[in-house]
């Protein structure tokens, strides 16, 4: 039972993953073969000829991801940025323009501004929480693509997906949502009208910090064929082993996300009670400016919490380097809790630009450990601030 009426976890566990007919293996095997023997010239056995184009293990992942986002088509790539690059190459041509959040993920900004900027794609960063400003930017620039990231990394701003999709569509632009931070369990952008969703599957979908990957999901045949062609023609697809690991991780997404949310809520409310903290950036808090929109478009508020410290850069560095359960590292969305100092780590590429993140800010990827161990770890790291 893996049709679209099946529940989220049923789809996660079964979509694209039938048992194997020839042996009865319940878990579809990992297909490493690069090439496939046809019945005769031009008459393929299972639709496969060469693995850069199609591969059964990658197909399993692509079907699983499409089912989780409620989309018809899923395409998987070697990384999140590889997926984003395929979208930009597949949908845009020189002279086209992208409007994106002024706190878009730094790697996305670098990709659009430096790699695609160099071949004539324009970009305008704007505050996505200000729908009128977005409408004006899209109209002024004649944008072909509105790039929405919500919650944003690492400022945790919430963009109103339905309102922004309407702005894009009024202007004849595509509306894309980077759904990495929420995961399809918490937020379903296609159901909110978005034309396509991108993911860094490296994060919650893979979920175990052991595989880099990316994906594009859409209901549009036109978008699918343009973006899938880049996967085949440019060769930036996920490898079979990476696809296998990602599928395995994504099966438990729902149970992991609920625990991530429970623990993040505990961490956010602990931080809120600390005198050393100036701001807790978590959309689950009633006074977060995006709380009402998040409550409308998300199932829960996610596992990411950012915090700003009154003691500035020195305090942030001290906390980042003193935790024992939270590991100081880039990335997010794995079972283990990670602590990141964005201005020198994940967002170093936007330092000194208008997208620079504050130096007193820490980003916490709250994992699945016992909440009391996470809180006592933070308690210890805050000592002497």
Active site residues: 52, 105, 178, 203
303 binds ligand PLP (CB under 6 A): no
Of 214 and 303, the one with the shorter C-beta distance to ligand PLP is 214
Q: Which is nearer to ligand PLP, 56 or 101 (CB)?
A: 101
* 262 or 330: CB nearest ligand PLP: 330
Total residues binding ligand PLP (CB under 6 A): 15
CA geometry: angle at 382 spanning 381 and 384, to 5°? 110
Site string (160-199) toward ligand PLP, x via CB under 6 A: ------------------x-xx------------------
Q: Does 202 bind ligand PLP (CB under 6 A)?
A: yes
Residue 153 vs 263, nearer CB to ligand PLP: 153
Structure tokens at 290: 């995006």
What beta strand segments (E) does the chain contain?
73-77, 97-101, 122-126, 145-149, 174-178, 196-200, 214-218, 277-281, 304-309, 327-328, 338-340, 361-365
Question: Does the footprint of ligand PLP cover residue 59 (CB under 6 A)?
Answer: no
Cβ partners under 8 Å of residue 7, min gap 6:
none
Residues between 147 and 166 with contacts to ligand PLP, criterion CB under 6 A? 149, 153
Q: Strand, helix or coil at 151?
A: coil
Least distance from ligand PLP to the Cβ atom of residue 179, Å:
9
The reply on whether position 96 binds ligand PLP by CB under 6 A is no
Of the candidates 177, 173, 142, the residue with the CA atom closest to the CA atom of residue 161: 177
Q: Is 352 helix (H, G, I), strand (E, B) or coil?
A: coil
Stretch that binds ligand PLP, among 50-58, 68-76, 101-109, 129-137 (CB under 6 A): 101-109
Find tokens 């008459």 and name the residue.
43
φ, ψ of residue 143 in degrees (nearest 5): -60, 140
| Residue 105 interacting with ligand PLP (CB under 6 A) | yes
Is residue 204 involved in binding ligand PLP (CB under 6 A)? no
Contact status: 242 vs ligand PLP (CB under 6 A): no
Task: Determine the Cα–Cα distance for residues 211 and 206; give it in Å rounded to an integer.
Answer: 7
Residue 80 touches ligand PLP, criterion: CB under 6 A: yes
Instruction: State which residue, 111 or 277, has the beta carbon closest to ligand PLP.
Output: 111
Chain position whose Cβ is nearest to ligand PLP: 80
Q: Quickly list DSSP for 248-305.
A: HHHTTHHHHHHHHHHHHHHHHHHHHT-TTEEEEE-TTSTTSTTHHHHHHH-SS--SEE
Q: Which is nearer to ligand PLP, 102 or 202 (CB)?
A: 202
- Quick check: 54 and 76 in contact, CB under 8 A? no
Give the 3-state secondary structure percentages of the chain, helix then strand then coil, rounded to 5: 40, 15, 45
Among 107, 189, 249, 284, binds ligand PLP (CB under 6 A): 107
CB of 16 to ligand PLP, least distance (A): 21
DSSP state, 26?
A: S
* Residues between 316 and 345 that touch ligand PLP (CB under 6 A): none
Q: Does 141 engage in binding with ligand PLP (CB under 6 A)?
A: no
Applying CB under 6 A, the residues found at the interface with ligand PLP are 79-81, 105, 107-108, 149, 153, 178, 180-181, 200, 202, 212, 214
């Amino acid at each position: 039972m893996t049709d679209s009426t099946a529940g989220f976890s049923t789809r996660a566990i079964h979509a694209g993953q039938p048992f194997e007919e020839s042996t009865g293996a319940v878990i579809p095997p990992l297909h490493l073969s690069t090439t496939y023997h046809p019945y005769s010239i031009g008459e393929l056995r299972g639709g496969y000829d060469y693995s850069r184009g199609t591969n059964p293990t990658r197909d399993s992942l692509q079907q699983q991801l499409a089912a989780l986002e409620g989309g018809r088509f899923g395409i998987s790539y070697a990384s999140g940025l590889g997926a984003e690059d395929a979208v930009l190459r597949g949908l845009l041509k020189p002279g086209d323009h992208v409007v994106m959040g002024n706190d878009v993920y730094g790697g996305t900004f670098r990709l659009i501004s430096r790699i695609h900027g160099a071949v004539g794609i324009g970009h305008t960063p704007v505050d996505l929480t200000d729908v009128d400003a977005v409408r004006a930017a899209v109209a002024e620039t004649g944008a072909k693509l509105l790039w929405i990231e919500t919650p944003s990394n690492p400022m945790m701003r919430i963009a109103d997906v339905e309102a922004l999709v309407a702005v894009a569509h009024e202007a004849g632009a595509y509306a894309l949502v980077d759904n990495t931070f929420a995961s399809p369990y918490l937020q379903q952008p296609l159901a909110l009208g978005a034309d396509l969703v991108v993911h860094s599957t490296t994060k919650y979908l893979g979920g175990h910090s052991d595989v880099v990957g990316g994906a594009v999901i859409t209901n549009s045949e036109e978008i699918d064929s343009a973006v899938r062609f880049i996967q085949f023609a440019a060769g930036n697809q996920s490898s079979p082993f990476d696809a296998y690991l990602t599928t395995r991780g994504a099966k438990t997404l729902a149970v992991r996300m609920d625990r991530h949310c429970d623990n993040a809520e505990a961490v956010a409310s602990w931080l809120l009670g600390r005198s050393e903290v100036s701001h807790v950036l978590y959309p689950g808090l009633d006074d977060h400016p995006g709380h009402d929109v998040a409550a409308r478009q998300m199932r829960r508020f996610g596992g990411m919490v950012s915090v700003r410290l009154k003691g500035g850069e020195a305090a942030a560095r001290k906390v980042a380097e003193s935790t024992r359960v939270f590991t100081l590292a880039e990335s997010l969305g794995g079972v283990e809790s990670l602590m990141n100092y964005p201005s020198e780590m994940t967002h170093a590429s936007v330092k000194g630009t208008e997208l620079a993140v504050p130096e007193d800010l820490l980003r916490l990827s709250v994992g699945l450990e016992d909440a009391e161990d996470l809180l006592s770890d933070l308690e210890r790291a805050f000592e002497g601030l």
